[in-house]
Structure 1
Amino acid sequence: MSLSLLGIILVQVYWFNTSLENNEEQFKFHVKQVLGSVGNKLQNKERYAFYKKNGRFKDNAKKSPKSEDLLEYGYYERNAKTNKTIIYSNSIISEDYDMFSTFFDKRLDSLKVKNYTAKRNTKVFNNNSFDNSGIQNTIIPDLTIEKAGDLKILEDAQFEIAYKDVVANYPINERVSKEQLNELLDKELKEYGIKTPYEFNIYSNGLATKIKSEHFNFDKYATYSIPVFIDNDGNNKYMLLVTFPQKKKFLFSEILAITLLSVVFTLIIIIAYANALHQLIKQRQISEIKTDFINNMTHEFKTPIATINLALDAIKNPKVIDDKEKVYRYLQMIRDENKRMHAQVENVLRISKLEKKELEITKEPLNVQDIIEEAIDHVNLIIEDRQGAIITHFEANRTTALLNDVHFTNVIVNILDNAIKYSPDVPVIDIYTENIKDFILIKVKDQGAGMSKVAQKRIFEKFYREHTGDIHNVKGHGLGLAYVKRIVEDHNGQVFVESEKGKGSTFIIKVPLIN
């Protein structure tokens, strides 16, 4: 059972780790899709804005270009903010006829055109100076576009090349704003169900730009990146980085419900298993106690029964039966032993009645010290027989409590009887009384054998007796102290023991006083 339970726990831990890893992979996949979609949308928005502002093409569609024809795209722009002027030219020259696949992998059955060479030239001028020293040229090598299709496809290709060449000269803050980027990210993340806080930043050649959220902080575990604004030559100057500060919390929340259920059910199994073990141990202890009780009861009854049998046999003897004095003596022995057995049975029945709350206990104001004196009288003969002594130390000033005379006397008698029985030498017992607030404390201290820590915890349990193996040198059936505890508690009091093996025991009874 223990190995199976451990196996279940290990399987649960393995399942949790696997689920977390799967969630992380799925999260990574979705984030990559989101970033790819955001990158495409940024490029498309920029393309559309540029088209609306500068969409000018020569109307050469539906006719074959001749060698002297030029399909040319020109662009001129002055930027007041940066104080620069951009002049851009893009021309495509026809060369020879041949069949190739269409631009954007589209096959057209319309008019076929030649191979073309695209010549692009971008010049950026400082507005303060238009001489050769103020010119920044970017001469892009000739680009050959081998396509087949009508001139409209060619114009699209020319525009695509042109727009990317021109916008490459814009600063990043003119190409996208952080508000626009945040809106796109927010929308795409919600569509993919990634509802966790995020931060973003666009890096330019490894350096952070101003297009970033307020609390962006790079975290290798939680940061994902994708190139944006790729130019005509496939270079990616800009990288979009998105980080998720609460990634772990989000991933865990995805499996939180099922994990909690798993933990709850596992705990139920552990509790049930622990309870089963506890019950098994308890049943074993009860079995041992039951065996001890039967053995003790057998020893308790064995002596009186044997005595009664011997007395009866003696009475039957013709020499004794005519001797009235001897007959009366044997009859008294039979009566005493019968009374002793009756007392043993009464103890068992009394505990049973206490358990079922059938024992009626009427209480009245009584002097505690008078009850103690009465209990001492009950055991005086035994003490004298063993040449012992009971010494009283009555220090309590207030001694009146609500008690049942018979039962509370039995409580003190039981404790004194134990003190005598468990004193291997001459029994010397001290009885103390003292007041603590509105309570009276009764301490019965002996110099006997004492008891172990384990026995101290269980001494007031029904039928419990400290193990002595097969030695039954101390008679009893483990009911006396259980009776003591129940009676004291019924008087709204407490009873506990202080003991050390070989150094005697002190029983302390705490009972509330009458004001």
Structure 2
Amino acid sequence: MGKKLFIILVLLMSLSLIGIIFVQAYYINNSIKNEEEQFNFNVKKALSFTARQIEEDEIERYYDKYQSLVDQEKQADTVAISNIFLYQQNENTNETIISRSGILEENYKLPSSFFDIGLDSINIKRILNKSETKIYSNRGTLDNELQSNPIYSMSKIARLTEAEKIALAELLKVAGSRVPIHKRIDNAVIDSLLSSKLKEDNVELAYEFAIYSNDLATKVQSEGFELEKSATYSIPIFDSGTDRNNYRLLVNFPKRNKFIQSSIIRMTLLSIIFTSIIIIAYSSALLQLFKQRKISEIKTDFINNMTHEFKTPIATINLALDAIKNPKVIEDKERVMRYLQMIKDENKRMHAQVENVLRISKLEKNELNISKDRVKLHDLIEDALTHVELIVEDRKGFIKTHLDADKSSVLANETHFTNVIVNILDNAIKYSPNAPKIDVYTENVGTNIILKIKDQGSGMSKAAQKRVFEKFYREHTGNIHNVKGHGLGLAYVKRIVDDHQGHISVESEKEKGSTFIIKLPLIS
């Protein structure tokens, strides 16, 4: 797959995933808004029902009282009532309040000439309403008023017509505004009406209520009511048409948000779970794609390096064989022996490379049998130095040892751990452009022994330090193969150190060299 196509596919997949997440978020947000609107509608409907029912119940109570007076009469008066009076006596202030609501019915019979509609005559009825309230401070003033205004002296009561019922309702609104609100309505009634209406709409949620007058609290309220503007609903109640008392029925729901969200919490949780699974799966797939692409590039580089490293010894062997075939050379035993040694060395070199590859493969499959014995790390270091000292001397370099650890007994496999030290020393030699200068240190730290191998070579970048122990990894140098290797040596080193319950790290700086640090547990 080409790099451009790979990038386009990743972008399209990422955009699709982001789109899915945004669509899910939009629908969840929209669902919450819909639930909130439905909740608000149900609450306002319950408030309207409660306020209307309370007002109707109050009027019905007064009408029942009036009707009971009518029922006490032996004979009904046939004269229609044109005025309704409400008499209130306040014992505390010695005031008498008389409220009147009057109904005037006027019937007109108009000749057909007024309206050309094909009828002989038209009956027109007009109903007029007039209300007034008077307050008398003492009984004498009231008696004088009654004597001077005979309309107040009506003694007979008749049944109410529909028009008169309207007049009574209007009258009670005005008269009721002078009665304290806690005497007009009971908390239990409000609670019962609200609760029943809310349950009809499946709003089973704890609430608190109150009645406020001109934005001031009254005695009518539940115990835990607190005015919260964001969660409080209100509606007018006992509207008298005057500014004397501007009553409002208020209700709030302390757990309103939780209730609204609970209705879609399952859908939201499922959406989050499935979206998270998609994100995790997508991230894993994307990570695997990048890893596979990187591995493909590393393997290609590995094959190129292996090919390059095998070409040189093969070419050397072929040249040596061709030289031996020469009749002049074959008679010169010294030259033949030298060529045979070259063939042997190059063959050994190729065999070592193949062994490294096979060793790593066995480690990956846990097929490499590593038996451990009690050994002294200092002995392994001395043994490893003998493998590389000739190469160092040939390049005019040196290896200095600073074996300061008093205790060096560890549980290790002699062969494999010697190879670990040899590989690190070999790296130090290969990555030293000039004569290799290497220092080897040991020291005891607690129950561990620390081995440091420090060189003064070309060093490595920060990025390379993070990946130096990866299989097949070599720091990118373009197509220049001035340092031979295939990126398996340090991967093998880390696997062996880990298998010995140790830890390996590297400290390095470009052009200033590298220091490999191995920590192993001591044994008594």
What TM bracket, shorter-length normalisation?
0.7 to 0.9
3-state SS of 2:250 partner: strand
- Describe the shift of the 1:202–1:83 C-alpha distance in structure 2 as closer, same or farther (beyond 3 A): farther
CA distance in 2: counterparts of 1:254 and 1:365, whole angstroms: 68
Change (3 A) 1:54 1:165: farther
Amino acid at match of 1:310: L
3-state DSSP of counterpart to 1:402: strand
After TM superposition, the structure 1 = structure 2 runs for residues 400-419 of structure 1, keeping only pairs within 5 Å, are 400-419=409-428
What does residue 454 of structure 1 align with?
463
Counterpart of 2:517 in structure 1: which amino acid?
I
The one of 7, 11, 19 aligned to 1:7 = 19
Partner residue, 2:52: 40
- Pair 1:30-2:42 in alignment: yes
Q: How does 1:332-351 map to 2 (within 5 A)?
A: 332-351=341-360
Q: Deviations over 1:454-476 (max 9, x none)?
A: 11111111111111100100000
Structure 1 pair 95/242, CA: closer, same or farther in 2 (3 Å)? same
The CA deviation string for residues 8-52 of structure 1, in whole angstroms up to 9 with x for no partner, is 233333333333332232222112101111112212332344345
Distance change >3 Å, CA 93–CA 473, structure 1 → 2: closer
| Residues 1:457 and 1:118: Cα distance change in structure 2 (over 3 Å) | closer
1:71-470 superposed matches below 5 A: 76=87, 78=89, 87=98, 96=107, 122=133, 129-132=138-141, 153=162, 156-157=165-166, 159-161=168-170, 163-214=172-223, 216-231=225-240, 237-470=246-479
Whether the aligned pair in 1 keeps the contact of 2:136 and 2:142 (CA below 8 Å) is: no
* Counterparts in 2 of 1:460 and 1:98: CA distance versus 1, 3 Å: farther
1:58 is paired with a residue of what secondary structure? Answer: helix
Deviation at 1:86, TM superposition (A): 5.0
Q: Are the aligned partners of 1:227 and 1:236 in contact in 2 as well (CA < 8 Å)? A: no
**Structure 1 residue 367, shift from structure 2 partner:** 0.7
Partner amino acid, structure 2, of 1:343: A
The question of whether the paired residues in 2 share the 8 Å contact of 1:98 and 1:115 is answered with no
- Cα deviation, residue 436, structure 1: 1.3
> What amino acid maps onto 2:42 in structure 1?
H
**Shift of residue 163, structure 1, vs aligned partner:** 4.3
Q: 2:29 aligns to what?
A: 17
Looking at structure 2, the residues matched to 135 and 209 of structure 1 have their Cα atoms a distance apart, in angstroms, of 38
Residues 62-105 of structure 1: per-residue CA shift (max 9 Å, x gap)? x9986x55477665555667776555566767654889xxxxxx
Q: Does the 8 A contact of 1:452 with 1:499 survive in 2?
A: yes
SS at the partner of 1:224?
strand
- Looking at structure 1, the residues matched to 109 and 184 of structure 2 have their Cα atoms a distance apart, in angstroms, of 39
> Residue 56 of structure 1: SS of its match in structure 2?
helix
The code of the aligned residue for 2:489 comes to G
Task: Give the TM-score, by structure 1 length.
Answer: 0.84
How much does 1:56 deviate?
3.0
C-alpha distance in structure 2 between counterparts of 1:196 and 1:501, whole Å:
70
Deviation at 1:393, TM superposition (A): 1.1
Q: In structure 1, how many angstroms separate the alpha carbons of the residues matched to 2:459 and 2:142?
A: 110
Superposed displacement of residue 187, structure 1: 3.4
What is residue 488 of structure 1 aligned with on the other side? 497
Distance 2:397 2:321 in 1: 34
Amino acid at match of 2:51: G
Which moved further from structure 2: 236-245 or 465-474? 236-245
Match of 2:514 among 473, 480, 505: 505
**TM-superposed deviation, 1:348:** 0.7
Contact kept? 1:289, 1:464, Cα under 8 Å = yes
- Residue 64 to residue 78, structure 1, CA distance change in 2 (3 Å): closer
Distance, in Å, in 2 between the alignment partners of 1:44 and 1:390 is 108
* Alignment partners' CA distance in 2, 1:413 and 1:493: 17
Deviates more, 1:208-217 or 1:486-495: 208-217
Counterpart secondary structure, 1:267: helix
Whether the 8 Å contact between 2:177 and 2:245 is mirrored in structure 1 is no
Letter in 2 for 1:377: T
Contact conserved, 1:56 with 1:73, CA < 8 A, in 2?
A: no
- Looking at structure 1, the residues matched to 422 and 145 of structure 2 have their Cα atoms a distance apart, in angstroms, of 116
Check 1:177–1:351 CA distance in 2 against 1; reply closer, same or farther (3 A cut). Answer: same
- SS of the residue 1:511 aligns to: strand
The amino acid that maps onto 1:367 is K
Show structure 1 runs of 5+ residues with no match: 100-111, 143-149
CA distance in 2, matches of 1:363, 1:239: 89
Q: Does the Cα contact within 8 Å between 1:113 and 1:151 map onto a contact in 2?
A: no
Cα distance in 2 for residues equivalent to 1:314 and 1:339: 20
Deviation at 1:59, TM superposition (A): 6.1
Shift of 1:272: 2.7
C-alpha spacing 1:72/1:43, structure 2 compared with 1 (3 Å): same
CA 1:448–1:221 in 2, change beyond 3 Å: closer, same or farther? same
Is contact 1:124–1:136 with CA below 8 Å preserved after alignment?
no
